[in-house]
Amino acid sequence: MANRKKAVTRWIKRVLLTLLAVAIVAAVVSAWRPKPLAVEVAEVTRGELRVEVSEDGRTRVKDRYVVYAPLAGNLARIELDAGDAIDEGEVLARIAPLPTPLLDGRTREQSKANLEAARAAVKQAAAQAKRASASLNFAQGEVKRLEPLVDRGASTRAELDRALLQVKTLRSDVESAKFATRVAKHQERMAASALERFEHPNSGSEPDQFVIHSPITGKVLTIHRESEGVTNPGAPLVELGDPRALEIVVDVLTRDAVRIQSGAEAMVERWGGDPLPAKVVLVEPSAFTRMSSLGVEEQRVNVILDLQAPYEAWSKLGEGYRVEARMTVWHEEDVVKVPTAALFRSGDDWAVFCVEGEHAKVCPVVLGERSRREAQVLGGVEPGQTVIVHPSDAVADGTLVAAPDL
C-alpha cells in the first residue's frame, strides 16, 4: 500500500514537471515569435474623383456707382447711412451755392464741356447696350439651334452647355449695359442741370440749392462725405450699388490658376449659410504679388465667380464679406483611387503598402490626378485590395501587420 502511494506521488510530480516544462517552452516560443504591428488600413475603391482648388475669397458688387459733386458749393449733411436702400431719383445730397464761384465764367465753360462729354457717354453706353442685346439674341438663337441637334445626337451636350453659359453671361452683360446707360443719362442730366444753374441762376423752385438724385435703385455701399461743408467739383460723396448683382473674387496661386477654366463648377462655403453653387466667369490675365502669412512673396491671380443660387438663398451676403470657394479643375465619375495618406515615395516613383495575408508588401503605383484626400491610380493596384494608410517607419516589405478590419 505504501509503495502504491509512492508511485502515485512520483507520477503526479512527473506530470507537474512536464506541464511546467511545456509552459516554459511555450513562453519562450511566444516571446521570440514576431508580434504583428498594429496598422490602419483602407480599401482601394472605384468611384468619383474631383480635383479642386480651395482658397478664401470676398464678395464684390458687380455694378458700382460713385456719386461725385458736379460743382463747388456748400454741401449739406448727408442723412443716409451705409446699407440704406435707395430708389432711383431719391435725393442723395444738396449743395448750396458759394458767394461767387457758381457764376464763374471759367466754371461755366467747364460745365459746357462736361455736358458734351456726358452726352457722348450716353451715346457710347447706348451703343454698348445694343451690342450686348444683339450678342444675347444671337446666343439664344444658337441654343435653339443646338437643342434639336443634341436630341438627334448630331451635337454634343458640352456644346449646348457652353452655349447656355454664354447666354447667362450675356444676360449679365445686358444688365450691366443697361446700368451703364442709366448712369450715363443721370450724368447728362446732372451736367445739364449744373449748366442751367450758370445760365439761369434764378430759375427753379429752390434756386439756392443744387439737388443730387440717385441714378439707380439699390443700396448705399459707402458714405465718402457725411459732414456738411465746402465741396469741390469731382469730390466723391456716396457710393451706390445693387446688392443683387454680387460676384465672388478669389485670389489663387498662379500655378493653380492655369488649371482653372471659365465655366468650371465651384462651391462657395463658410459664409454663414448653406454651400452655394457657383461658376467661374473669368480668370484675370494679370497677376499680382502678395505676402503670405509666412512672409513669402506669392504670385496670385483673381478668379471671378458668379453665384448660381437664387438671391433668396444668399440675400444676407453683402459687399466685402469673406467666403471660402472650391473650384473644380478636374472631374471623373469612374476612376480607381486610393487615399493620399497611403502613398509614399519609393525612389523616384510612388508606392503603397498592400496587405497580403498578414504581411505588408510594397506595391509600386502609377498615379494620375490627385485631390487632397484621394489619388487616381492608373496601375499597380486593383479595386478591393487593402492598403495601409499613414504607414510608420516600422512598416517594411514583409512586416507582419494586424488591423481591426483584417
In a domain, 6, yes or no: no
In a domain, 128, yes or no: yes
Which residue spans within 62-116 are E strands per DSSP? 64-68, 73-75, 85-86, 91-96
175: burial class by Cβ within 10 Å (0-12, 13-18, 19+)? middle
The CATH number of residue 398's host domain is 2.40.420.20
Based on the domain organization, do 188 and 106 belong to the same domain? yes
Based on the domain organization, do 285 and 355 belong to the same domain? no
pLDDT in the model for residue 119: 78
Based on the domain organization, do 130 and 160 belong to the same domain? yes
DSSP 98: P
Based on the domain organization, do 126 and 265 belong to the same domain? no
**Last residue of a domain, which of 313, 331, 349?**
331
Average pLDDT over residues 388-406: 83
Based on the domain organization, do 353 and 270 belong to the same domain? no
pLDDT in the model for residue 270: 92
In a domain, 377, yes or no: yes
Read off the amino acid at residue 200.
H
In a domain, 7, yes or no: no
Based on the domain organization, do 347 and 285 belong to the same domain? no
pTM over the 0.75 mark: no
Residues 6+ apart with CB under 8 A from 39: 355, 360, 388, 391, 395, 401, 402, 403
CA 179, CA 54: separation in Å to the nearest integer? 33
In a domain, 8, yes or no: no
H helical segments located in 221-341: 254-257
Residue 103 has pLDDT above 60, yes or no: no
pLDDT in the model for residue 205: 45
**Last residue of a domain, which of 207, 233, 268?**
207
11 pLDDT tier (thresholds 50, 70, 90) = confident
* Most confident residue range from 33-42, 79-88, 144-153: 79-88
pLDDT tens digit string along 275-327?
999 999 999 999 999 888 888 899 999 999 999 999 899 988 888 899 999 99
pLDDT tens digit string along 140-161?
888 788 788 777 777 787 887 7
- Enclosing domain of residue 359: 38-47+333-402
Cell 511545456 locates to 22
Cell 468619383 locates to 48
Based on the domain organization, do 340 and 301 belong to the same domain? no
pLDDT in the model for residue 33: 56
| 157-199 vs 105-152: helix crossing angle, rounded to 10 | 160
CA 107, CA 195: separation in Å to the nearest integer? 9
Based on the domain organization, do 108 and 178 belong to the same domain? yes
3-state secondary structure 184-242: HHHHHHHHHHHHHHHHCCCCCCCCCCEEEECCCCEEEEEECCCCCEEECCCCEEEEEEC
Residue 96 has pLDDT above 80, yes or no: yes
Based on the domain organization, do 224 and 357 belong to the same domain? no
Based on the domain organization, do 220 and 287 belong to the same domain? no
The CATH number of residue 279's host domain is 2.40.30.170
Contact 242, 74 (CB under 8 A): no
| Count of domains for the chain | 4
- What residues form DSSP beta bridges with 246? 61
Q: What is the mean pLDDT of the chain?
A: 83
In a domain, 4, yes or no: no
In a domain, 152, yes or no: yes
**Last residue of a domain, which of 306, 331, 356?**
331
Based on the domain organization, do 341 and 382 belong to the same domain? yes
244 pLDDT tier (thresholds 50, 70, 90) = confident
- CA nearest neighbour of 60 among 324, 323, 321: 321
100 pLDDT tier (thresholds 50, 70, 90) = very low
Whole-number percent of the chain with pLDDT over 70: 88
Based on the domain organization, do 254 and 326 belong to the same domain? yes
In a domain, 2, yes or no: no
